[in-house]
A and B are shown apart, each in its own frame.
Chain A
């Protein structure tokens, strides 16, 4: 492994200038929990790497309609945010303490399945990605960001600088369940994040996101439509869970088979929706 350059820009303009100068050959790295792993293995052999730890992107700030989370905010920081309960819960269930101290929110958007739990929770929160380029910032729905396995809508010379999580209604509820081969520090068999605003028993503004069961995190829109405006009872939940399972396109890998992932997508979606409906206590 011979890397010719490791750049440590201290600002976004400096990072963008380096991206323009070096083009697509420059590998962007935040926490290093994916990029360094691939470099250590020799799978990735970049000539130049750009590290974001000093780029000043590690703050969480209130914004017009929600919360802006800098791209290099770590999962440990996220885990301590009581005001972002779904993200905090998801962060706690991601990686190990050591990895949470390094892994970042922005990096999670580039993490191939079965990793990348935070992106699943962000998808259920209707998050937007803030992308900086030479002509300024643009925003994009996270649902449009990942275009395939390890590919994104990011254009050459652009940098993800933050995600924005829209403010939720006071009656908003959410749940996150990750099924792995063991309880902690594990890639997912399936990850499910659900969010909705409950008006009594009626669910509105329903979002169901699944991870590790397709080349990208997915929204189960057909399942959402089944529940939207309905009483969240056993039948509706079963129908929606079946629709969510049908929306998956899982891969077989050392963690789980395609068959098992699809089956568990339905089971875990059922459990997450039951939590949302308050039918079962939140599992640890």
Chain B
């Protein structure tokens, strides 16, 4: 079959990539499209560090062939970060010390963006449930949950630009 051309929408701009069959979205985003927020973690869908939104739904980009998102919309953390500033979610994570090493942070923040779109005023329990697939090995879960609560209080859902 050889290489194939795949087109999709990346955070509002059309992109086109040339890939080998079954190349993962994670690999394409990171190595071809400069989206280094998308981490190359476990490659098993188990850590959440490669979480991106596909048509607004969080997905593990390491398990997703880029050919499957042809014609769809992919949102990464780069796409929700305003030029020269921080998104409300990023601001909340900074204010509440929502990260230590930062490796899990982009995945957690993308999950948060999708979550607050659906549940703008979550309980702590709902946040914990939503976060079940995102692993933080600095064990900073309490401050991550604090950060998501703060983002919710700041009304982050209306400003992330991640419409369903």
A residues in contact (CB < 8 Å) with B: 1-6, 8, 31-33, 36-37, 39-41, 49, 51, 53-54, 76, 95-99, 101-102, 183-185
Asked whether A33 lies within 8 Å of B133 as measured between CB atoms, the reply is no
Closest to B64 in A: A32
**Stretch touching chain A among B19-27, B76-84, B98-106, B143-151:** B19-27
Closest to B135 in A: A185
CB distance from B149 to the nearest CB of A (A): 18
A-B contact count (CB 8 A): 87
- Beyond the given A36-B65, A96-B133, A98-B45, please list 13 additional residue pairs across the A-B interface where CB-CB is below 8 A: A33-B45, A33-B60, A36-B24, A36-B63, A37-B45, A40-B24, A40-B44, A49-B65, A54-B68, A76-B57, A96-B48, A97-B132, A102-B45
Give Cα A183 to B132, complex, Å: 9
Query: Out of B21, B57, B130, which one reaches A101, CB within 8 Å?
Result: B57
Asked whether B133 lies within 8 Å of A99 as measured between CB atoms, the reply is yes
Q: Which residues of B contact A183 (CB under 8 A)?
A: 132
Asked whether B68 lies within 8 Å of A53 as measured between CB atoms, the reply is yes
Q: Which B2-32 residues have C-beta < 8 A from chain A?
A: 20-22, 24
Asked whether A101 lies within 8 Å of B48 as measured between CB atoms, the reply is no
Q: Which B48-106 residues have C-beta < 8 A from chain A?
A: 48, 51, 57-60, 62-65, 67-68
The 3 closest A-B pairs by CB, nearest first: A96-B133, A184-B132, A6-B21
Q: Which B97-155 residues have C-beta < 8 A from chain A?
A: 111, 115, 129-130, 132-134
Asked whether B60 lies within 8 Å of A98 as measured between CB atoms, the reply is yes
Q: Which residues of B contact A4 (CB under 8 A)?
A: 1, 21
Asked whether B65 lies within 8 Å of A6 as measured between CB atoms, the reply is yes
Give Cα A42 to B7, complex, Å: 27
Give Cα A246 to B118, complex, Å: 45
CB distance from A258 to the nearest CB of B (A): 24
Asked whether A6 lies within 8 Å of B22 as measured between CB atoms, the reply is yes
Q: Which residues of B contact A5 (CB under 8 A)?
A: 1, 21
Asked whether B1 lies within 8 Å of A8 as measured between CB atoms, the reply is no
Closest to B118 in A: A97
Closest to B21 in A: A6
Knowing A37-B44, A51-B65, A99-B133 are in contact, say whether A3-B22 is a contact too (CB < 8 A): yes
Query: Out of A6, A8, A37, A98, which one reaches B59, CB within 8 Å?
Result: A98
Q: Which residues of A contact B43 (CB under 8 A)?
A: 37, 40-41
Knowing A4-B1, A33-B45 are in contact, say whether A185-B68 is a contact too (CB < 8 A): no
A sample of 28 cross-chain residue pairs with beta-carbon separation below 8 angstroms, ordered by A number, consists of A1-B22, A4-B21, A5-B1, A6-B22, A32-B64, A32-B68, A33-B45, A33-B63, A36-B64, A40-B43, A40-B63, A41-B43, A51-B65, A53-B68, A54-B68, A96-B48, A96-B133, A97-B58, A97-B111, A97-B133, A98-B111, A99-B45, A99-B133, A101-B58, A101-B59, A102-B63, A102-B64, A184-B132
Q: Which residues of A contact B48 (CB under 8 A)?
A: 96, 98
CB distance from B57 to the nearest CB of A (A): 5
Query: Out of B21, B57, B133, which one reaches A3, CB within 8 Å?
Result: B21
Asked whether B44 lies within 8 Å of A99 as measured between CB atoms, the reply is no
Give Cα A96 to B130, complex, Å: 8
Asked whether A184 lies within 8 Å of B21 as measured between CB atoms, the reply is no
Most buried by A among B21, B22, B51, B65: B22
Knowing A2-B20, A3-B21, A5-B21 are in contact, say whether A98-B51 is a contact too (CB < 8 A): yes
Give Cα A5 to B2, complex, Å: 8
Give Cα A13 to B164, complex, Å: 32
Knowing A40-B43, A98-B48 are in contact, say whether A6-B1 is a contact too (CB < 8 A): yes
Q: Which residues of A contact B60 (CB under 8 A)?
A: 33, 98-99, 102
Asked whether A95 lies within 8 Å of B63 as measured between CB atoms, the reply is no
CB distance from A169 to the nearest CB of B (A): 32
Q: Which residues of A contact B51 (CB under 8 A)?
A: 98
Give Cα A54 to B69, complex, Å: 11
Q: Which residues of B contact A96 (CB under 8 A)?
A: 48, 132-134
CB distance from B39 to the nearest CB of A (A): 14
Give Cα A5 to B111, complex, Å: 32
Knowing A40-B43, A49-B22, A101-B57 are in contact, say whether A32-B63 is a contact too (CB < 8 A): yes
